[in-house]
Every structure is written in C-alpha cells, then in structure tokens.
Chains A and B, each alone.
Chain A
Amino acid sequence: MPEKRIVLGNCGATDPNDIETYLGKGGFKGFIKARDRLKPGDIVDQVKKSGLSGRGGAGFPCGLKWELARNAKAKMKYLICNADEGEVGTFKDRYILSHDPFGLIEGICIAGLAIGARQAYIYLRAEYHFLNDPLCRAIAQVKEKGFLKHLDIQVFEGAGSYVCGEESALMDSIEGKRGEARYRPPYPQARGLWGQPTIINNVETLMNIPHIIANGAAWFSAMGTAKSKGTKVFSVSGDVSKPGVYELEMGSSLKELVMDLAGAVDIKAVQVGGRHGNIIPGHMIDIVLSYETCLGPGAVVVFNSKRDIIDIVHNNMHFLNDESCGKCTPCREGTEVMLEILGRLRGVEGAAGDIDALEDLAQTMALASLCGLGQEAAVPVLDSLKYFRAEYVNRIEQSLFLRSYLGEELSKSKEGER
C-alpha cells in the first residue's frame, strides 16, 4: 500500500499563514456543513459511525467520548486539543501544526459545535513555543472569517513536562496546579477541567474530523481494519535512511513503513509507540499496524543490529524515571528500582534474581499505577524480556563469571602479597 495522505493532505499544499489558500483547497466546507445542515447530535453520530478512535495512543472511541460529554449536563463545557507531543520519537503534531493549522482549527470548531463547548484550549508543548505565534495568527484569521462565533480558542503553553501530555495531568497544568495524574473515575467527560465536562483530543484526531463531516462516515470507515478505521500518521526515526512523517492506512504492515518507505535495511528491533511502546523484534516485521496489535501515538524508532537491547531499555527507563511525576508509589519507586537493575545489567554487574525482580516490578506497576505512564513503563522491559531474553541471561552470566573471575584474581594477588 502506498502512502495515503488525508490528514496530511493540505500540508505543503496550503500556506499556513494565509487562510485564503486553505479555503481555496476546500477548507471549512466540513464546518459549514456541520453548522448549517447538521444538528450537534448528528455530528456526534457521524463521528461515532466513522469509528474514529483517539490518535494520542490509547485509541478510545472518539464518538463515544463526545457523546458522553454532550449528554453531560453542565453550564460550561471545555474542549482541549492535546498538542503536548511529549512522546519521544513523535513529531507528527509539530509537522501538522506548522503546515496546516487551519485544518486543526476547523476540527476544533466542529468539535465545539458537537459537544456544546464555548471554550477551547490548545495545550501546546513548551518546546513548540515557536508555533505559538503562527497558531494565534491562524486563529485570528479564522475569527475574521466569522467561523468562531460559537467558540473561543486559547493557546495554552505547557511548561515542559512529559506527564502533562496525560489528560488528567494536562488539566491540572491548565488549572495552574502541579501537573500530576488524577484518579479515574470521574472521567474528564463527566468532570474534567475546573470540574466541568471536558473533551481532550489529540491534534491528529481533530484533523480527521473535517474530512469525516465533509465526506461522510461511510467513506471514513471503509478505510482500515475491523476495529481501527482511517489512516494513521507515523513519525519514523532511528536507523533508517529516510526518517520523517508518513501517513498510512490502518492495517498496513510495519515492514512497508520502515523498509519500503523509510528505507531501513538492517533491523534488530523496532519500538512502536514511544518510550513505553512495544518492542517488535526484526523477525516480526510483518506485523500489522492497528490498535489491535501495537500503535500508540505512532512513534516508530528503528534499531539496527549494532544496538544493544539492554542499552535501549535502560535509556527508556532513564527517561520515564526522570519524567515520572512522583505521585503514586509504584511508578515513583518502581522506575527508580528498574533503572538501578537495568543500569547494573548495562555495566555487566547483574545478579541472579534480576529478571525475576524486573518481572515482579513490571506486574505491580502495570496493575497498580495511577496513570498510563506507570502502567506502561514496563512494556518495553517485558517485551525485551520476551524476545531478547537470551541477551539478559547472557549478561547476567557474564556478570557472575566476571565477578567470580575477578574474585579469584583478587584472592591470588592477596596470596602473593602474603
């Protein structure tokens, strides 16, 4: 399957500083249709029928989320566009925001109509500060055209925390608190920002909305697999000759993406889904990319045979440990202990019980952590233990041998001294 550019269709074809070029390409047709010909309930129905699921990684059905928020009774409802693209190895949202801000704003406009929100926030990652001005200019242009009468859009810049990409921590951050995950239920659709019903959608999810409204739900649901509909934008990086942003239909194989499009040749493993994504070994490269298998936010990092798997996993854990918010015990302490174990393995100082300890910790963190960061922190560890167990066992045996050998040498030299 070749690339199928729907979300990225206008990237490069329109001028991000000039709304006329976007309108010339058929922009805001979806919004005008939604505003003039559809009731809010119909918009939600369309999105529901399309089978669109959240593109931020969790894959929650978008229509269902909207319906819950729409049916919630409250004076004020909020819409948040999550542009805190903190996941390591993703850069698709930056690409979209810098090339097609109008597409996103149109999606936000339609979502606002559908759930009845009057205030929308674009939560922009701190590192994307340079996109703040262009985004605000784009919003002003849309306002001038009269498309924003029902909704106020504000760009809110984060402060550089990874966990603030998690929806509940993100809301805490907007409320001015320390960005930490909240327990659920209540879900944001019932009680979110300032205790009001809130919808939080990823940039890419909202980019799909105008196309669904303009072309109909049936057109959208014809693409993809049984449970994953539409297309997905991938950010490919690592040991490939052509890293970049690629859009493929759901259900394409990983091989197509990394070998045919990105030009990877030597593949030891591919990490799909960012820092807590699955590690796919080279021999399973034919795996299909969809929510049923592995996907996450679409970060694909390729590692060639020169890379050491324990090094990769250690690096992962170093990041997650650094970014853990420190609220719940399993994540705060668990990542630290895992980092210690992996650090020792990396430095050939492993001990016999290390694999068991890693597995025990992984289970506890997955079952008891408060948010996705802790729950999924151990996914790469478990995957690497599943597919590359021999390397771990080898490393521990090396450590044991080295220690006993060095111990003998040491005692010999001591005898010599006597």
Chain B
Amino acid sequence: MGNVNVNIDGKKLRVREGVTILEAAEANGIKIPTLCHIKDQVPTGICRVCVVELERSRTLVGSCHTPVSEGMVIHTHSPKVTAVRRVIVELMLTAHTGDCVNDTNAENCVLHNLASDYEVGAPRFNVKVPRFYPAEDSNPYVRRNLSKCILCRKCVRVCASIPGKNILSVGYRGFRSKIVAGFDEALLSEKCRDCGKCIEHCPTGALSAPVKV
C-alpha cells in the first residue's frame, strides 16, 4: 500500500494508506480522546468520543474506525467536535451512578479525567431511572460495580480475545443494555480466573481487583 496526503488540524501529513484517522493523528502527536478503543484490536466505534470533523462529510466520523484516504481534511478539536464530545461525556455521566466523589481511584478513571478536560461538570440532563446495580463480589479475582459501567465493551472484547474464555457479553437492549456473564448470572470463579485483563482495560471503576481484607 502506498501513502496518502491528509491534513489534520492544519498539519499536512503523509501517512500510510489504510491506517485509521486515530492512528495517523497519534503517530503525529495529535491526541484524540477515546474510551472504547483497544490498540491492535478491531475497532468498534461504540463510545463516539473520538469523533472528528471531516470536511465534506454530513456527520462527524469516528476516528478510531475511519481509514484515511487521499485529500482528507480533518479537524480533531473544532468547536463543533468539542461541543459534541462534551454532550457525549455529559450523557455518559447522566445515567452513571456511583461513589466517584469519595472514590480514591477516581484519578484513574478515564471518563472522570475526560470530563474535567472538557469542563463538563455536573450533567444538566436526567434519566427516569439511572443505572444502578449492586456491586458483585461473587468472584475473588474481579469486583464488578456495573453502576459505573459506560458500556464501552472493552471487557467483552478482551475477554473474547483470550482463547477458551469469551465469558462476557452484552445482554438486553438499548438503554437497558448490561454487560452480562452467561445468561446474566453471577460471575463465578469456575469460569473467570485471575487474568485481570478486563480490569486493566476498564476505563472507569466498574471493574476492579477486590480489596484483600
């Protein structure tokens, strides 16, 4: 494959054909926030935080899954993009319940940092019933607090990439979607061992290592 010319944020770049906008931007020191992207895995385009403005495109495009092509003019931080990103983060925070205020690990939460980067603050929206699930302690290796889950499905994908695992999947539909194990059962230690991959990838505090007492 050859190279193509693209223009990202006014920088004229020459990048390899077939790479995504995100990869091209990152290779050239332009940072685009993402929540659901896993490096070297097939992109899914779920979180939509990485959207960028592509000239002559009707909508914003997800940078993690759109390959570059000749002559693309891309704006990663235009006012339109920033406004949309802010609303998306705000939406994620809206239905999100949890103890972020007194969570000692809050600085590790990608969503938390993104919200402060984009100066989102307290969301102005409401939902009828916020997502609330009791934290699950049934597994000695992973503690699941799905109230903090933003449904980026990273855990589902990394789990599926481990041979013989593929324990997690998405259950239910729409707003009521939930990351489930089996038919929404407790995550038992027979199935899930201590690889900790999902904890590593979780952008929020939804999955964590249980505190040893």
Contacts and interface: CB of A to CB of B under 8 A. Distances in A.
B94 interface: yes
Contacts of B92: 329, 333
Contacts of A326: 151, 170, 172-177
Contacts of A327: 44, 46
A369 B128 contact: no
Nearest to B173: A326
Interface in A320-365: 321-330, 332-337, 339-341, 343, 353, 357, 360-361, 363-364
B205 interface: no
A332 B170 contact: no
B83 A370 contact: no
B60 interface: yes
Contacts of A321: 174-175
A333 B84 contact: no
A323 B177 CA distance: 12
Interface in B84-101: 84, 87-88, 91-92, 94-95
A82 B112 CA distance: 42
Interface stretch (B7-15, B119-127, B158-166, B194-202): B119-127
B21 to A, nearest CB: 12
B59 A333 contact: no
B51 interface: yes
A73 interface: no
Contact of B127 (A183, A322, A336, A367): A336
Nearest to B53: A367
A370 B87 contact: no
Contact of A368 (B84, B124, B177): B84
Nearest to B152: A329
A122 interface: no
Nearest to B51: A368
B126 A337 contact: yes
B12 to A, nearest CB: 23
A104 interface: no
A329 B91 contact: yes
Interface in B19-51: 43-49, 51
A361 B62 CA distance: 18
B208 interface: no
B193 interface: no
A415 B62 CA distance: 58
Contacts of A339: 128
Contacts of B75: none
5 pairs of A and B residues whose beta carbons are closest in the complex? A326-B177, A333-B91, A364-B87, A183-B45, A324-B174
Given A183-B66, A340-B125, 18 more contacts: A321-B174, A322-B174, A324-B173, A325-B174, A326-B151, A326-B172, A329-B88, A329-B150, A332-B177, A333-B127, A335-B175, A357-B125, A360-B87, A361-B125, A363-B83, A364-B88, A367-B59, A368-B51
5 contacts: A183-B62, A324-B174, A326-B172, A333-B175, A337-B127
